[in-house]
Structure formats: C-alpha cells, structure tokens
Amino acid sequence: MTDRTILVMGGAHVDRRGRIAGETAPGASNPGAWFVEAGGGAFNAARNLARLGHRVRLVSPRGGDADGDIVAAAAEAAGVEDTPFIFLDRATPSYTAIIERDGNLVIALADMELYRLFSPRRLQQRAMREAMAAAGLILTDANLPAETLAAMSNAAKGAGVPLAGIAISPAKVGRFRESLSALAFLFMNEAEARTLTGEAPENAADWPAALRAAGLSAGVVTRGGKGVVAFDARRTAQVTPPQIPALGDVTGAGDSLASGFLSAWTGGADIGEALRHGVAAAAITVRSPLAAAEEMSQVALADALSLVPRAEWMA
C-alpha cells in the first residue's frame, strides 16, 4: 500500500489567522498580526503525507483567483500532485480564525460555499474512477457535501480501497453519518465525537463503544492535551501527548495527527504504534507557526517519536 498513491479529496483553501499579541479582551479591539497561508483539513494532511515520503494526489474545487494561486504554489512546494476542479468565475474558499497569544482558537469563520460544487457526479468521471481504483488509500474531509462523501464511500468500497475521513468541525462531522460504516478511520476531537454520538463520556475508554454504537468501526478521538484514543474492531489504544514547551499554533494539529497515523498504518503498524506516530506528527505541527509544518519529515518524526510514550492498550 505504501507504494501506491494516496488520493486526497476535500478542503484546500486559504487560511487567514489573526494572532492576538496580549491578553484577549472580548468585545474590544485587540492588537495583533495577520498571517495568510494555504490550508484546509485535507490539504494540510496531503502536504504532511507528501513530506513523509508518500506519493499524494490532491483533488479539490478552487476558484480562478489569487487565493487559488496560493494553494497551487503550496501544493507544488510540498510535492503534492495538484489536480483541482477550477471554477474561473468563483472565489476560492477561505477560513479566517482568531488565535489567542498561547495558540488556542478564539473563533473562526469558514466561507466554504464552493465545496458544494464537488458533487457526486464529479466522482463518476472516468479520470476520477481510475484515480480511486489505483489509490492505496483515499483520504477526505467533511468540507465536502454529505451526498458526495456517501458516493465516495461506495466507490471506495467497490474498488477495495480504504477510505479515511477528517471530521473538520462539530458543524460538519454529521456529513459523514451515512458513511460511517465504510470508513477505515475517522479522525475527530471530543466535540465532534459528541455530535456523532449524543454522548459525553468522562472516561476516554468509553468513546469507542459510543462511536461503534453510532456505526463507526474504527477511529481516533483527540482530547486536547489529554490522552488520544484510537480504536478498531478489535482493540483500543491510548497515548498521552508529551508536554510541548513552546506552543506555536494548534491550527492543523489534528490534520497532522491523521497524517502521521495513516503514514504508519499504511506501512503495517498496529493502531497503537500508528497513534504514537500521529501524536509525534502533531507535536511537530504545534511547535510551528504553520498549519502544515515545513520541517515535517521522517527524520523529524523519528526525533519527535522518541518523546512519545508507548501506547496503553485498554480493555
């Protein structure tokens, strides 16, 4: 599987992040600075996977504007094969976030209307059918419409190709609801897991049962600085993230965790070891001001992995 292309379909847009310089003052003007870069859950993961040595092809809708050029340049710089659907008369989607001085998110606004045009009909095109059939893994995110995700899951199942998903947000994760049983893994945080299950267990060990009851056979739940839980049909593992002395920005941390996990999993690692790789990849990202750290590599991952404790297997 590691010799085959990873096909990534989903969010690839422009991130605009304003970072507050001092203590956050709600309802008032806060001194700070703006930073603009290419982003999107699927695209962040695609760049990380490419930097970890995988062949990656990206498919996403994009506008014919300067923001689209920013995404294209970032894909080229990371070594991602970029094959977008371009709508010349539309604007490229964007995500605007306000970040506190310590790197935590205050609020964000997502202008993602263009993703509605990634309809199931796009997947029926011959080039797309061939790309899915040839892939070793398909990765998508909840930026795409629910009907497209359902069609993608059916196509992946028919081609015998594993499909993984990134939840993106509590508002969007429900788009995976019809596709849960077809996913090899779904990567989410606790807020997104609560949306899917309607439950809020205090014990991390209770998440797998709640998510299996919702129809998901395998997934990963992040819990901030607390232990991260991964499960499949047979086992559950937990890894406690190492302390990060210098927090850059949490943007993209979940996407990088998915990247590290899938990179190891496609290489044959069990979910416990794959989770360690995911946590290590996330640690690299939160030290960086970028949503997809330029220093991501197998060498950097090995260094970060040395700080990540062994997975704990849970009953």
Q: Tell me the per-residue pLDDT of 40-81, one tens digit each, with 9 for 90 and over.
A: 999 999 999 999 999 999 999 999 999 999 999 999 999 999
User: 296 is written with which tokens?
Assistant: 């991501």
Predicted confidence at residue 224, as pLDDT, reads 77
179 near 172, Cβ under 8 Å? Answer: no
Q: Answer with the residue of higher pLDDT: 315 or 9.
A: 9
Q: How far apart are CA 301 and CA 10, in angstroms?
A: 25
98 near 20, Cβ under 8 Å? Answer: yes
**203 pLDDT tier (thresholds 50, 70, 90):** confident
> In the structure, how many helices (H) and strands (E) does the chain have?
10, 16
143 near 167, Cβ under 8 Å? Answer: no
Q: How far apart are CA 28 and CA 64, in angstroms?
A: 36
User: 113 is written with which tokens?
Assistant: 């209307």
Average pLDDT over the chain, rounded to an integer: 93
**1 pLDDT tier (thresholds 50, 70, 90):** very low
Give tens-digit pLDDT for 122-137: 999 999 999 999 999 9
